[in-house]
Amino acid sequence: MHIAFVASEGVPFSKTGGLADVVGALPRALAALGHQVSVYLPRYRQTKLADPVTVVGSITIPFDDKYRFASVVKGGSQPGASFYFIEYPQYFDRDALYGTPAGDYPDNAERFALFCRAVLEASKIIGVPHIFHCHDWQSALVPVLLRTVYAEDPAFRDVGTVFTIHNMGYQGLFPAEVLPLLMLPWDLFTMSKMEFFGQVNFLKGALTYSDFVTTVSRKYSQEIQTAEYGFGLEGVLRDRAATVTGILNGVDYDEWSPQVDKFTVAKYSPHDLSGKAKCKQDLLATFGVKNADPKVPLIGIVSRFAAQKGFDLIAQIMDRLAREEMIMVVLGSGDKVYEEMFARLNKQFPNKIAVKVAYDNAIAHKIEAGADMFLMPSRYEPCGLNQIYSLKYGTVPIVRATGGLDDTIEPWDATSGKGTGFRFTEYTGEALLLTIKHALQAFRDQTSWQVMMRNGMSKDFSWNASAREYGKVYERVKQMRGGVQSVGKGLTAVG
């Protein structure tokens, strides 16, 4: 089957978060199963292409004020997967992908509407796929356009759409007057389509018009159908429950494994853990922690600094946690309040808490390899990748039981020797502190601890299984498109 990915970022070309990792890795796994995959991305300033080739010289995109003209460049490929970039410098040749520290770019609706239309037009020339697999709100207009503006276009008559939610918290909300600017019909501005409390909601449009909706873990697919996690769209998803499923993200073990990691000072494996001690020493040196006792447990954090990630809980308990026998190293950036919090804690507890306010891939690898534990106390976590990386590195995860964290981490039971980490359910500082203390106590029994490490290292969360599950969804959508099926609300499920 020919699958066309449509996304706003993908490694190694552009990245702000886990979406990029998925878009970089899943096409390769699908190609290995025999699918043909095209990947469409914007060409940002940060997109580096070795030998770009223009494959579509000009695409006309109608806007209410004037036409815009984009081109398509091919650059980079994997076996079975080709990467295409929508080139429109006025929108994409900017310092960042989505905005500045002051907020989102004010023309994001126009930017990603142009991107979506350009993808559809480009596919008519490059090759119309069986399925458009769209990711997050930036690609949400693809299924909307296909079932409205392009509904009578014979090129897309049998084309199906799969939409993956990577994070319900980001929806693409814009003023209602953006619809005529984007040449979209006003009848989309209703409660049953894209209207959302007086605004236009791109994500809602995709949830309404896509043939099938997936998200990135089983637990999260259930959570987003509740008021607590649905961000106002839980009713839309409940209406479509028969065509909503969770498929856990995979990880790329060619990059994230202590046996092959190019960023670490030593390699190690479940059969020989000795290299981890060297990685721990190197990590402490990287963060400037001097004269540390190597027997003291080292907790690592690699994260975007945002309330979603549970940093409000860390703020509640840090004074008490700093009294425990432990060291914490933190890598991340984001909300200023948390950047300032960690800088303050580093000043207050210089031998306990070391911080780098940045995103640095090499240091992220060093933390996974050198830490004894990895902390992810998220308020919600659609999938999470770092806890899966941590398992492979024998770095025991401490997580809140939500979304993909709940799906991937099994609670440790010292009596049976089963489990891979530590979980807490209640979203409170007290529950987090108690769980960390439990982990610190368990660390004292190194024989038992190494059993838990090896349990985690033996887990396989590679992309192969996930790709097969996506293959089943694509097949189901292809069957749905082959018959007379209604789309969106009231869509008839097959199987």
CA angle 172/174/180 to nearest 5° reads 120
Asked, for residue 436, whether it belongs to a domain, the answer is yes
* Same domain flag for 449 and 476: no
Count CB atoms within 10 A of the CB of residue 114. Answer: 26
What is the rounded CA–CA span in Å between residue 257 and residue 269? 9
Asked, for residue 487, whether it belongs to a domain, the answer is no
CATH number, domain of 336, equals: 3.40.50.2000
pLDDT given for residue 490 in this prediction: 37
Asked, for residue 259, whether it belongs to a domain, the answer is no
Asked, for residue 310, whether it belongs to a domain, the answer is yes
Sign of CA dihedral 15, 133, 82, 464: positive
* Same domain flag for 68 and 112: yes
CA angle 111/236/305 to nearest 5° reads 55
φ, ψ of residue 17 in degrees (nearest 5): -165, -165
What is the rounded CA–CA span in Å between residue 175 and residue 199? 5
* Same domain flag for 233 and 309: no
> Which string of DSSP letters, residue by residue, matches 34-103?
T-EEEEEEE--TT---SS-EEEEEEEEE--SS--EEEEEEEEEEETTEEEEEEE-HHHH-SSSSSEETTE
What is the rounded CA–CA span in Å between residue 54 and residue 61? 18
What is the rounded CA–CA span in Å between residue 283 and residue 281? 5
Token pair 């309330």: residue: 307
Asked, for residue 64, whether it belongs to a domain, the answer is yes
* Same domain flag for 299 and 182: no
Asked, for residue 495, whether it belongs to a domain, the answer is no
* Same domain flag for 70 and 189: yes
* Burial track 364-385 (b if 16+ CB lie within 10 A, e otherwise): bbbbbbbbbbbbbbbbbbbbbb
* Same domain flag for 282 and 183: no
Q: Helix or strand or coil: residue 192?
A: coil
Please give the structure tokens belonging to residue 82: 């080709």
What's the whole-model pTM score? 0.88
Sign of CA dihedral 173, 216, 221, 405: negative
Asked, for residue 258, whether it belongs to a domain, the answer is no
User: Residue 199 is part of which domain span?
Assistant: 2-250+464-482
* Same domain flag for 422 and 300: yes
pLDDT given for residue 18 in this prediction: 83
Relative orientation angle of helices 446-457 and 429-443, to the nearest 10 degrees: 110
* Same domain flag for 210 and 86: yes
Q: Helix or strand or coil: residue 252?
A: coil
Taking only the tens of pLDDT, the chain with its 495 residues reads: 999 999 999 988 999 888 998 999 999 999 999 999 999 999 999 999 988 999 999 999 999 989 999 999 999 777 779 999 999 999 999 999 999 878 899 999 999 999 999 999 999 999 999 999 999 999 999 999 999 999 999 999 999 999 999 999 999 999 999 999 999 999 999 999 999 999 999 999 999 999 999 999 999 999 999 999 999 999 999 999 999 999 999 998 988 999 999 999 999 999 999 999 999 999 999 999 988 999 999 999 999 898 889 999 999 999 899 999 999 999 998 889 999 999 999 999 988 999 999 889 899 999 999 999 999 999 999 999 999 999 999 999 999 999 999 999 999 999 999 999 999 999 999 999 999 999 999 999 999 999 999 999 999 999 999 999 999 999 999 999 985 443 444 343 333
Token pair 């891979």: residue: 420
* Same domain flag for 288 and 197: no
Tallying the residues shown for the chain, one arrives at: 495
Please give the structure tokens belonging to residue 445: 């029994």
pLDDT given for residue 144 in this prediction: 98
Number of folded domains that form the chain: 2
Quick one: CA torsion of 458, 461, 464, 470, rounded to 10 degrees? 150
* Same domain flag for 28 and 109: yes
Please give the structure tokens belonging to residue 262: 């190019």
pLDDT tens string 72-111: 999 977 777 999 999 999 999 999 999 987 889 999 999 9
Asked, for residue 149, whether it belongs to a domain, the answer is yes
What is the rounded CA–CA span in Å between residue 18 and residue 437? 29
* Same domain flag for 436 and 471: no
* Same domain flag for 307 and 359: yes
